Amino acid sequence: MLLVTLLVLLLSSPEPLAGEVQPPICSNANTMYTPQDAYRSNLISLARTLIAGVAEKRSHSAGRTAGTGPDKVYGAVLCRGDSTGEDCAGRLPQALGKAMNDTAGGGSSGHSQKAMSTFYDDDYQARLSFSDEDFLSGFTNAPECTLRAYLNPPPSTDDPDRFTKLVAELMEKLVPAAAERPSRCSTGQGWFDPRGKIVYGMAQCTEDMPAAACRECLAGVVEQGRNTSGLTTGGAILGARCSLWYQTGIKFFAGDPEVSLHMPTPKQARFELRLLSMAVQNVINLWRIEEGNSGFSLYDFSQIKEATQNFSGENKLGQGGFGSVYKGLLPGGLEVAVKRLSACSVQGLLEFKNEIQLIAKLQHKNLVKLLGCCIEGEHEKMLVYEYLQNKSLDVFIFDVVKGTKLNWPKRLHIIDGIAQGILYLHNHSRLCVVHRDLKASNILLDSDMTPKISDFGMARIFGSNMIESNTTRIVGTHGYISPEYAFDGVCSIKSDVFSFGVLVLEIISGKRTAGFYSYDGKLYNLISYAWQLWRSGQGHELVCFGIGNDHQVIQRCIQVALLCVQERADDRPSIDQVVTMLNSEEMTLPKPKQPAYFYVRSSGSDASSCNSTISITLAR
């Protein structure tokens, strides 16, 4: 049995940090063309034909040629197998635009590569490949170009060998299944852990490939990953003609899995959930005994049902990873937010238990208040929070219209409030708590725009003598996770400091951390963009239009944020130092070093508006 490791191979020798987005353009050819060449015209014509073809045939793939002689272009489209033709076609023009404007390929000197593969954005769901050499007739996976799609430590499990073998077994089943299906795509799932963990996978080829060629192509992809050391929570190898994906805990494809391995019987699944439900109930019983006068309430299901108007759609505030959130009105006029857990979410139960054990012990004006919980039988489990009228920070700072309601004094008030909340978690609460998922959507705002940190399902308690902790399960959101945590699983209070620095840059700029922004003819992620502006004395250009002109204070906040996002955890200030720097105008600040995830790519388009919405979320 092949011990398949679908870590995507790197294109260059320097290994990037986890969480760093690889360029969605790659090439291994030296032949070039100019804007005046017939090759360029043929390429544009071919791309249009391919895009129209997948839309008309409702297909996820296509292969064509255009032109003759030395200017002939061979091209292929491969979208993920669960894509519709319209969805695939909608993604491809952006991929073409990136290829045509690739300065890394020589565009800055008026030349571009003749052989290239380019992806729609950073989700790698749509690939456009072209070359001046025939890679279509032989059904090879050239142009050779593979990208790192995931890099996370292996999932926490009592039996890692079982996980490794399961991934291998799943891929061995998916390869022939994909080859035999008319769509040349197959999806699957496999259960590998007594706590209910599932790994999902997909194998696919372009639809025009014969079954034997598809099987051979996928076998070659499997062989590519065979000798890569260390199995991870998710990975992908993406070729021009065939690709493989897998991901732990997240069903990343549409529809039901076609292949299932070792899935628990309904009786077994119910037994595992019942064990965890009993553990949660034990936590509640301890609260009754130890914290009877803490203000933490146990609500009856009938109360919550009536307060939320039977969980009506009109009362629904949002949908989380493990359940829905509803607005409720309790007798006496108290407004609450109710997080209702999905009935069969094992991970949700773990977070439910963690939040009850943790947040009910924490009391601070900049932390959302957990009022209590509700448990009804085996299936109904709810957390009841104070209701905050202005919802979350991201609703304001990433919206051009709503963002005008947050002038600089209000934004500074929010920055300081978040810092005070983190200071309480790290230094002044009964427990030293590392939140691990600080981001704009987890900062709630009350009627006075006072920020309150929410969602403690991922939080981790540190003992009095602990400086850092190693974990095999990375949680959080791409763009906010510190490099040492993402790459090595090392979590510490400096992990939260890094996330805070990213948040401050977002609050000041109105730009998302996962976007790319133009500077000096190139595109940078937000951290790198802010550092380039600050280093060149142009920090004022980072400030989102209309929030105010208190330049000295804003520049100070930018510098503090850049100190927080430095690559090495030891270089970052602690949160108490951050609070001091934010509130002491006379204090001289150290100069920040180059930040983590410093990344630049060629500028094909300017993504620098205050309302950029590109983001990636890691598995949770």
> pLDDT digits over 146-201, tens only?
443 333 444 555 556 777 788 888 888 999 999 999 999 999 988 876 555 788 89
Among this protein's residues, is 161 annotated catalytic?
A: no
Alpha-carbon distance of 393 to 506, in angstroms, equals 10
Q: Catalytic residue among 122, 437, 455, 496, which?
A: 437
What is the model's pLDDT at position 151? 36
173 among the known binding-site residues?
Answer: no
Token pair in block for residue 199: 């790994």
For the chain, give the percent of residues with pLDDT over 70. 71
User: Within 10 Å of residue 227's Cβ, how many Cβ atoms?
Assistant: 8
pLDDT value of residue 468: 59
Structure tokens given for 99? 């290829």
Let me know if the fold of 25-131 is the same as that of 266-386.
no
pLDDT digits (tens, 9 = 90+) for 551-601: 889 999 999 999 999 999 999 999 999 999 999 888 899 999 989 887 665
pTM of model > 0.95: no
Question: Which of 14-18, 223-227, 473-477, 478-482 bottoms out in mean pLDDT, i.e. has the lowest?
Answer: 14-18
Say if residue 453's pLDDT is above 70: yes
pLDDT at 219 > cutoff 80:
yes
Q: Which 3 state secondary structure label does DSSP give 302?
A: helix
Residue 517 has pLDDT above 60, yes or no: yes
Q: Which tens digit of pLDDT belongs to each residue from 388-406?
A: 999 899 999 998 889 999 9
Could you tell me which residues come within 8 angstroms of residue 190 by beta carbon, excluding any fewer than 6 positions away? Answer: 166, 167, 169, 170, 198, 199, 201, 260, 261, 262, 263
What are the boundaries of each domain within the chain? 25-131, 160-261, 266-386, 394-602
Q: What is the pLDDT of residue 528?
A: 93
Going by DSSP bridges, is the β-strand pair 522-525/600-602 parallel, antiparallel, or unpaired? antiparallel
The residue count of the chain comes to: 620
**Domain 266-386 carries which CATH code?**
3.30.200.20
Pick the CATH number of 394-602 from 1.10.510.10, 3.40.50.20, 1.20.1440.230, 1.10.3720.10: 1.10.510.10
- The CATH number fitting domain 25-131, selected from 3.20.20.70, 3.40.640.10, 3.40.50.300, 3.30.430.20: 3.30.430.20
pLDDT digits (tens, 9 = 90+) for 251-299: 788 778 899 888 766 575 555 556 556 666 666 665 555 555 456 778 8
- What CATH number was assigned to the domain covering residues 160-261? 3.30.430.20
